[in-house]
């Protein structure tokens, strides 16, 4: 039994008791510390009752809020399409908050949606990448640029489109606006997410990334340089020699 499966079993044994679940999560959160317990977050999101997911998604405690936020991804795919707006609006709200851990939890929630319904994720991130808040645009980029999601042409294309739109959104900003912490977080995400998107569809992605090299925008140039350092992209740009037969 894996660690995550052990956590799932323990949480099920608590039978949805809110106080007992909160105590279990808090005691094993890994915080304070350098790394939160992601296996436990995933286990909670797998099995928690919807009412508890919603309660923790609004918790003042950062770790509990992460647990609830990731769980929202499961709830989105568990309800009919017409009943999802409130849940996705809550995810969007969490995407723009100050805690970087919770913002990462939003990306994890989006990836859960993508695992179950790629088209739903594609539509959501295409909408979010036009949001006025750079942190919401950052969530769109981080949510879809996950290697396991980019195995279908449609999702791979959406990832490239989202990266391109988010990059253009930075390029359109005046220099003083680029000092905003949300814009810096978006730029940081684009500094690795382009390489993930390109690896998902190299034939389409390499020319799109190459086109950015001609930009004289300093932030766009930084994004290109950072992605060029990533091993996944270097392998595409400099494939190993194949011995002749």
The predicted-structure confidence for 61-109, as pLDDT tens digits, reads as follows 999 999 999 999 999 999 999 999 999 999 999 999 999 999 999 999 9
User: For residue 244, what pLDDT band results from cuts at 50, 70 and 90?
Assistant: low
Task: Give the CA distances from residue 87 to residues 97, 103, 220, in Å, rounded to whole numbers and listed in that order.
Answer: 16, 15, 33
Report whether pLDDT(60) > 80: yes
Report whether pLDDT(240) > 80: no
Report whether pLDDT(238) > 90: no
Whether the ω angle into residue 79 lies within 30 degrees of 0, i.e. cis, is: no
Largest CA distance in the chain: 66
State the CB neighbour count (10 A cutoff) for residue 26.
Answer: 13
């Amino acid at each position: 039994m894996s660690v995550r499966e052990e956590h799932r079993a323990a949480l099920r044994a608590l039978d949805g008791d809110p106080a007992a679940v909160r105590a279990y999560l808090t005691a094993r959160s890994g915080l304070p510390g350098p790394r939160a317990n992601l296996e436990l977050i995933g286990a909670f999101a797998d099995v928690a009752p919807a009412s508890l997911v919603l309660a923790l998604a609004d918790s003042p405690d950062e770790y509990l809020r992460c647990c609830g936020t990731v769980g929202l991804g499961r709830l989105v795919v568990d309800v009919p399409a017409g009943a999802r707006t409130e849940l996705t609006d809550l995810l969007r709200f969490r995407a723009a908050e100050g805690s970087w851990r919770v913002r990462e939890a939003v990306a994890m929630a989006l990836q859960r949606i993508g695992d179950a319904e790629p088209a739903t994720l594609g539509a959501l991130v295409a909408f979010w990448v036009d949001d006025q808040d750079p942190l919401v645009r950052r969530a769109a980029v981080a949510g879809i640029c996950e290697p396991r999601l980019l195995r279908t042409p449609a999702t791979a294309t959406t990832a490239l489109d989202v990266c391109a739109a988010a990059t253009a959104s930075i390029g359109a900003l005046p220099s003083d606006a680029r000092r905003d912490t949300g814009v810096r977080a978006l730029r940081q995400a684009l500094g690795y997410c382009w390489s993930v998107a390109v690896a998902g569809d190299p034939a389409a992605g390499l020319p799109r990334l190459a086109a950015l090299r001609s930009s004289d925008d300093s932030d766009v140039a930084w994004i290109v340089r950072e992605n060029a350092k990533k091993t996944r992209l270097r392998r595409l740009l400099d494939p190993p020699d194949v011995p002749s037969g």
